[in-house]
Amino acid sequence: MDTNFSPADLAFRDEVRAFLKAAWTDVLGQYPEPLGGIIDVEWQKRLYAQGWIAPNWPVECGGTGWSATQKYIFETERAAVGAPDVSPFGLKMVGPVIYTFGNEEQKKRFLPGILNSEDWWCQGYSEPGAGSDLASLKTKAERDGDDYIVNGAKIWTTLAQMADWMFCLVRTSTEGKPQQGISFLLIDMKTPGITVRPIYTIDEEHHLNEVILDNVRVPVANRIGEENQGWTYAKSLLAHERTAIAGVADSKRHLADLKQLAAAECNGGVRAIDEPRFRHRFADIEAELMALEYTELRVLAAMAKGDGPGVESSLLKLKGTEIQQSIAELRLDLAAAFGAVVQGELSSEQVGHSFGNLARRNFLAGRAATIYGGSDEVQKNITAKFVLGL
């Protein structure tokens, strides 16, 4: 992939910048207080109206037809203004499974609601006894005429409390290898028999849930692909999930913000960025991030040609989340450094109470990044086996 932008790429960058300036500023203007999810919904609707909600989807399904360079430009510019990435469950996870493995009926029924943000999705993979060893999942789906009757429990289900639909792995056979008896179902969260129970995480927020399925009736028409072949579809989704988790553009922006903060004068004229303990950390993270960015560009270029993402998504996830955690730790330490005496130009928003709280919350919530989407140890096993051939 050529990262020297052509005149056409530069014109595209101007177009993206103009759109972001107008649309993101407008969304922020409407919601001056941080309202989390509401801003995200509003933002996604703007992207949809612009036709830019799903850059990685095929054009015939609602994608943009952008080149790898254009996708890179969009991501970089989007992160640079602080606009959020789209919610991954519909657009980056189940959407690609539906347009790749679903039938025409399913594409017509589900893809529009994902694109226009009317339908919100959650991921029903993990169970109390099945996380890293996902194939040992036990939630059972038994045929009853044109329906399956689903019984079992899912856990760590992110934002299930807000989801309209759940894409769910269920066991439809106990014959042969565990991977061979899994099917991929789309479940309407309003179906009788579904109970969603909150799980509060270390940051004291409600992101996660337990989802109990008690005799839940799901039409066979909501099964993606063949019965017992769900593992193949589930794995393709995981590769998309891991690539999306890497978050390079957002990490670049967070690091740039911190650098600006650290370069401001405080503490009797001492700048944090001049202190060796911070300088080294900035330099280390920057070098790692640049290396990851080039790896991501290679994956994007391959995806633009119709390949993957394959096992290299494990490397992206592994390094990307490690860098996110290093940045969160640096932010926390900077907050502590500024905690003593603040002088000069720094605003209270940056280093005062709200900055410290944000730093603490991000640090705590970010600990989970090396667990979700497949833990570090599991990504290392995959890399050893399929990349290094060990």
Ligand X SMILES: Cc1cc2nc3c(=O)[nH]c(=O)nc-3n(C[C@H](O)[C@H](O)[C@H](O)COP(=O)(O)OP(=O)(O)OC[C@H]3O[C@@H](n4cnc5c(N)ncnc54)[C@H](O)[C@@H]3O)c2cc1C
Q: Which residue has the tokens 């957002």?
A: 250
> Shortest distance, CB of residue 379 to ligand X, whole angstroms?
9
DSSP 105-153: HHHHHHHHHHHTTSS-EEEE--BTTBSSSGGG---EEEEETTEEEEEEE
Left (φ > 0), alpha (ψ -120 to 50) or beta: where does 268 sit?
A: left
Q: Which of 70, 106, 157, 183 binds ligand X (CB under 6 A)?
A: 157
381 lies in the site for ligand X, by CB under 6 A: yes
Stretch that binds ligand X, among 6-14, 181-189, 330-338, 368-376 (CB under 6 A): 368-376
Give yes or no for a contact between 129 and 252, defined as CB atoms under 8 angstroms apart.
no
Residue 231: closest CA among 100, 129, 137: 137
- Please tell me the count of residues contacting ligand X according to CB under 6 A: 19
Confirm whether 241 is a catalytic residue: yes
| Cβ proximity to ligand X, 72 vs 156, nearer residue | 156
375 lies in the site for ligand X, by CB under 6 A: yes
Q: Which of 90, 131, 309, 320 binds ligand X (CB under 6 A)?
A: 131
Give yes or no for a contact between 279 and 258, defined as CB atoms under 8 angstroms apart.
no
- Which x/- pattern over 314-353 shows residues binding ligand X (rule: CB under 6 A)? ----------------------------------------
The residues, any chain, with a CB within 8 Å of residue 296's CB and separated by 6 or more, are: 243, 246, 248, 316
The residues, any chain, with a CB within 8 Å of residue 7's CB and separated by 6 or more, are: none
In this structure, the dihedral spanned by the alpha carbons of residues 26, 32, 34 and 37, taken in order and rounded to 10 degrees, is -40
* AA letter at 81: V
378 lies in the site for ligand X, by CB under 6 A: yes
| Cβ proximity to ligand X, 93 vs 289, nearer residue | 93
- Which x/- pattern over 200-219 shows residues binding ligand X (rule: CB under 6 A)? --------x-----------
> Shortest distance, CB of residue 270 to ligand X, whole angstroms?
37
184 lies in the site for ligand X, by CB under 6 A: no
Q: Which of 2, 226, 349, 377 binds ligand X (CB under 6 A)?
A: 377
> Shortest distance, CB of residue 211 to ligand X, whole angstroms?
9
- Alpha-carbon gap, residue 22 to 38, rounded angstroms: 18
Q: Which of residues 230-269 bind ligand X (CB under 6 A)?
A: none
Strands 121-124 and 165-171: parallel
The residues, any chain, with a CB within 8 Å of residue 385's CB and separated by 6 or more, are: none
Cα 49 to Cα 18, 35, 126, 275: the distances in Å are 15, 21, 34, 47
- Alpha-carbon gap, residue 167 to 140, rounded angstroms: 14
Pure H helices in the chain = 7-30, 37-50, 68-80, 88, 95-101, 104-115, 230-245, 248-262, 276-304, 312-339, 348-351, 353-366, 376-382
> Shortest distance, CB of residue 259 to ligand X, whole angstroms?
28
123 lies in the site for ligand X, by CB under 6 A: yes
126 lies in the site for ligand X, by CB under 6 A: yes
Q: Which of 141, 297, 351, 368 binds ligand X (CB under 6 A)?
A: 368
Stretch that binds ligand X, among 46-54, 70-78, 140-148, 150-158 (CB under 6 A): 150-158
φ/ψ of residue 184, rounded to 5: -110, 110
156 lies in the site for ligand X, by CB under 6 A: yes
Q: Which of 3, 25, 30, 132 binds ligand X (CB under 6 A)?
A: 132
| Catalytic residue selected from 75, 77, 127, 241 | 241
158 lies in the site for ligand X, by CB under 6 A: yes
> Shortest distance, CB of residue 199 to ligand X, whole angstroms?
9
| Cβ proximity to ligand X, 61 vs 371, nearer residue | 371
Stretch that binds ligand X, among 2-10, 120-128, 307-315, 325-333 (CB under 6 A): 120-128
Residues marked active site are found at 241
Summarize as ranges the residues that interact with ligand X (CB under 6 A): 122-126, 131-132, 156-158, 208, 368, 371-372, 374-375, 377-378, 381
